[in-house]
C-alpha cells in the first residue's frame, strides 16, 4: 500500500485531513504502555475529522448537548478510521497500531498514549495556535485528531511554516483567559479548571469547552490574503 492509496482510503472513510511523518524522535514521550512497540513503528499517519461548522456555531457561551454528541461521535469515527486503516496495512505484511483518539491514560497530568496534536504538526497538517491547538488552513481549530503508527514507509509531509499573526479571536472568546499572545503563553491549568467547571454545570459530565474552536477565522475559510500567517504558500492542507 502506498501513501497515496492510504490517504485515498482514509478520505473515503471520512477523514477531513491526512498527513505523514516520522516519529522516531517522539517515542520516548509516548506512554510506557506502547513505547516499546512504537520503537518498531517509526512512521505515523495523522488523521483529522472536522467538526461541523453548524454545530460549532450553536455554542454561545458554554458547551452544549449537541456539541457533546458530535464530539463523542467524531472521536468514534476517528477510531473506526484508524482501525480500518491498520487492518488494511496489516494485510500487506506491514504492522500498524491505531491509537485511541480520546482515551485518557492519566488525569494529572491529562495525557493520552501519544500527543495527537504534536504529531499533526510534524505531519504538516497545520501549526500550533495561540489556543494550544492545531490550526489548519482550511478548518481552523474545529478538528478532532488521531494517530496510526506503522512500519510502512511513508514520505513525510513538510511541516507548515505559519502562525496566527495578530489574530486574537480565540483570546477574546476564552472565558478562562487562558490564551496569551503566543502558544507558549497558553495556561493549561486555567483551561483545565474551566472545562472542569463546565463539566459540573447541570450534570454536563464532559470536560470540553469548544469556545476557542468556533472563533477561529477559517470557520468559514477566510481568503488567504486575510488569513494572518507568514506570507508563504501552504501547499499541504491534508
What would the pLDDT profile of 12-68 be if each residue is shown by its tens digit? 999 999 999 999 999 999 999 999 999 999 999 999 999 999 999 999 999 999 999
pLDDT at 180: 95
Confirm whether 216 is domain-assigned: yes
Q: Provide the number of structural domains found in the chain.
A: 1
The boundaries of the domain holding residue 73 are: 3-163+211-225
Confirm whether 107 is domain-assigned: yes
Confirm whether 81 is domain-assigned: yes
What distances in angstroms separate CA 135 from CA 69, 82, 100, one per listed residue? 23, 21, 21
pLDDT at 224: 40
Confirm whether 103 is domain-assigned: yes
CATH classification of the domain holding 67: 3.40.109
Confirm whether 185 is domain-assigned: no
Confirm whether 194 is domain-assigned: no
Q: Which regions in the chain score pLDDT beneath 50?
A: 219-234
Confirm whether 146 is domain-assigned: yes
Confirm whether 170 is domain-assigned: no
| CA–CA distance, 83 with 115 (Å, rounded to integer) | 18
What distances in angstroms separate CA 165 from CA 18, 84, 181, one per listed residue? 25, 38, 9
pLDDT at 111: 84
pLDDT at 179: 97
pLDDT at 133: 95
Residue given cell 473515503 in the structure block: 12
pLDDT tens-digit series, residues 37-53: 999 999 999 999 999 99
Residue 179 buriedness (CB in 10 A; 0-12 / 13-18 / 19+)? buried
Residue given cell 510534524 in the structure block: 122
Amino acid at each position: 500500500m502506498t501513501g497515496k492509496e492510504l490517504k485515498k482510503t482514509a478520505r473515503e472513510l471520512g477523514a477531513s485531513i491526512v498527513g505523514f511523518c516520522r516519529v522516531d524522535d517522539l517515542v520516548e514521550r509516548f506512554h510506557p504502555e506502547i513505547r516499546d512497540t512504537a520503537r518498531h513503528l517509526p512512521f505515523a499517519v495523522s488523521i483529522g475529522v472536522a467538526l461541523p461548522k453548524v454545530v460549532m456555531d450553536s455554542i454561545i457561551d458554554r458547551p452544549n448537548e449537541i456539541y457533546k454528541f458530535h464530539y463523542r461521535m467524531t472521536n468514534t469515527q476517528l477510531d473506526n478510521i484508524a482501525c480500518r486503516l491498520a487492518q488494511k496495512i496489516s494485510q500487506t505484511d506491514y504492522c500498524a497500531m491505531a491509537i485511541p483518539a480520546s482515551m485518557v491514560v492519566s488525569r494529572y497530568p491529562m495525557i493520552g498514549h501519544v500527543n495527537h496534536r504534536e504529531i499533526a504538526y510534524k505531519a504538516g497538517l497545520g501549526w500550533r495556535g495561540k489556543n494550544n491547538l492545531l490550526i489548519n488552513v482550511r478548518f481552523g481549530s474545529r478538528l478532532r485528531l488521531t494517530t496510526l503508527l506503522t512500519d510502512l514507509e511513508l514520505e513525510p509531509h513538510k511541516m507548515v511554516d505559519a502562525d496566527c499573526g495578530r489574530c486574537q479571536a480565540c483570546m477574546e472568546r476564552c472565558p478562562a483567559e487562558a490564551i496569551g499572545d503566543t502558544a507558549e503563553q497558553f495556561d493549561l491549568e486555567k483551561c483545565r479548571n474551566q472545562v472542569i467547571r463546565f463539566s459540573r454545570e447541570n450534570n454536563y459530565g464532559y470536560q470540553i469547552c469548544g469556545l476557542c474552536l468556533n472563533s477561529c477565522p477559517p470557520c468559514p475559510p477566510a481568503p488567504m490574503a486575510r488569513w494572518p500567517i507568514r506570507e508563504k504558500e501552504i501547499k499541504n492542507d491534508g
